[in-house]
Every structure is written in C-alpha cells, then in structure tokens.
Amino acid sequence: MRAIVALALIATASAFVVDHSNIHAAFQFTNFMVKYRKSYETSAEYDHAFGNFQAALKRIAAMEAKGHKNVYGITKFSDLSPAEFSARYLLPKGNVKENLSAMRQKFAVNTPKSHSQSLPATYDWRSHGCVTPVKDQQQCGSCWAFSTTENFESMTKLGGYALPTLGPQQLVDCDPQSQGCNGGWTYWAFEYLLTAGGQETEASYPYTAETGTCAFQENLIAAKLTNFTFATVPCESGECPTQDNLLRQNLHDIGPLSICVNAATWSDWTGPAPIPADECDGSADELDHCVQLTGYDWTQGYWVVRNSWNTDWGDAGYIYLATGGNTCGLGDVVTYANVPPKAEAPSHGRRVHINKH
C-alpha cells in the first residue's frame, strides 16, 4: 500500500495534537484500510476518505443513541460519502413513480394465485437449492440486471431445470429501455427477456461492470421464460396497506422474488439486527436499488434479502429488513419470471435482436 502507512501515522500524530478524540478514529481507519485493502494515491485522497470515514462513525453513533444497536457499523463503503456511494452503487431515484400506472395494469392482468393455507414461521429458499451464490455488481449501477437475473435463475430451477448461472451483462448491454451501468428497471429487463426469448449463461456472456455493445447470441440461450408477474400490487407507501402478508405468502408459494428497495442507508449496515422499518423510507419515490428476497423469519421479525455487493458486505452478502412496515419499500415493486415446466419447454423459434448501441 503505497505511502499509506506513512500517511496514516502522520494523520494519527496530527490528530493526537489537535484532538484526542480523533486518534481512535485514525487507528480505526488504518484497520479499515488493511481489512478492505484500501489505498489512496495522494494525501488529499486520504484526507477525503478519512473525512468520510469520520462522518460514517458519527452516523453509526447517532443510530446507536436512538436505540438501534447492532444495526450499523463500519463497512467497505465507510470511506465514501452518501452521495459517492449512491452514484457508484445505486440507481437514480424517481423512476418508479413514473411507471406505477403501467405496472399496476400488468399486475391486474396477471395476478399470482396463492395456494398455501398456512405458512411456516421461518422459510429460506437457500435451503432448497435454488439460489445461486452472491454476485458482485462492482461500481456499476446494474443492480436491476442482477435482481432480474437472480430471480430468473431461481425460477428456472423451480421449473424443473438445473440451476443455471445466468449473465446479467446481457441485460446491461442489450435492454433498450435501460441505461446499462447508469440504471435500469427490473420491469424493463423482463420485457427485454421476453423479446429476446431468454438469457445466456455468465460463462457465455461474462460480466464486465461496464455498458458495452449487445453481443447476445440466440443459439446460446440457457434459460427461457413465457412471461413475468408482479407478486404484489405495485404501490407507494401510504396509499396501500402493508404488503407483508401477501409478500410472505407469495415468497413461500412461488419462490425467491425480485424486489426493489430504498438502499440509501445500506452502506452502513452490518447487522445482525435488521434495519428498522421507521429508519428506511418505503415510498416508491425513494427506491434506488434492486435485489432478491429469499426468505423470512416471522418469529424474529425479519426478511432475508440477497444483495449484489459481494460477500465482504453484510452477512456474507445478505441483509435483514424488519417485517411489518414495508421496510425500505421492499413490497412496492416485486416481480418474478414465469418459466415453462421442463416437459413443456418451447423450442427457440424466431428471436428479435435489439442493440441499443
């Protein structure tokens, strides 16, 4: 780590002279850099990152003072400001509300049918072999592509096929309604997959964390779908009742679901306690990230959510959200792929290729 130790020692010494309270933060920051293999080329970059780190410590302390223990802590994002974190890892806010009307019409046409009369207190689809390992979107606003892909993988397995590892890069490059690493929408991604006829594997269409030219090959389709469905009524917080009961029912009956959330506070989450409902705005206007809902624990009161920020964040890449309050808007926009049962899988047929570049 070029010049890091020297910079850290200088910063620590200066902090000791100026303010004894900073010395602990300086040592914490040095440990942070070692743990997450961080490096900064200049003293100005170091100072900026350390300033962000100190601000993160203050946010964490403020939440603990409010009684939210074991919720937030130091993460690999602690050297970023909230604005920097949002720009690198989240989607622009506001797109959801503009599309709510169209999404509700789609829900009305194709409403899921629940079958269970009673539900277990806890349930997690990871135990059923239909969830692939946690992925890493890197510094690319492609969470919408990962969320869609992860659901499609799970629904393909539940359709009777082998669990595939599909390539989100196909969506990043080829979905004409989305903007690749600059943002997109699961609703649009499913519409693209219907037009394309399916999705290639990660092996045949590898991830680059950049928006590229569409290189989709029809003959390499590894998973197909017949439609997609909204598992809850697309809504805004406050204009519809809590989504929790319907969401729990359909998660159990259907499979792991694609959801979109407000992840503005997730950069600080370490757990093991879930993010409280009253600390994460659930309105549709605030949604800025898409992930996969895989389970719940109704006894302890939390949802199990798989993220796409690698396994060195959260609980090995997962996060817990409190039940009972549409926490972070997790029930606002929930979708899943309709996959033909294996015996009824259609032939490829003619595909329409779209290249938005």
Cα dist from 231 to 108, 160, 226, 262, whole Å = 11, 21, 16, 18
Distance between CA atoms of residues 341 and 338, nearest Å = 9
Distance between CA atoms of residues 46 and 2, nearest Å = 12
Taking Cα atoms as reference points, which of 337, 278, 247, 208 lies closest to residue 68?
A: 278
**What angle do the packed helices 4-18 and 43-65 form, to 10 degrees?**
60
Contact 218, 320 (CB under 8 A): no
Active site residue 115: no
Contact 355, 214 (CB under 8 A): yes
Active site residue 143: yes
Q: How many of the other CB atoms lie within 10 Å of CB of 296?
A: 26
Which helix (DSSP H) or strand (DSSP E) does residue 258 occupy? strand 257-261
Could you list the beta-strand ranges (E) of 37-130.
Answer: 122-124
Q: How far apart are the first and last CA of the chain?
A: 39
Exactly one of 22, 95, 151, 307 is catalytic; name it.
Answer: 307
Distance between CA atoms of residues 246 and 327, nearest Å = 14
Exactly one of 143, 214, 280, 328 is catalytic; name it.
Answer: 143
Q: How many of the other CB atoms lie within 10 Å of CB of 192?
A: 22
Active site residue 250: no
Exactly one of 289, 290, 326, 328 is catalytic; name it.
Answer: 289
User: Quick one: 315 exposed, middle or buried, by C-beta within 10 A (0-12, 13-18, 19+)?
Assistant: middle
Q: Which are the catalytic amino acids?
A: 143, 289, 307
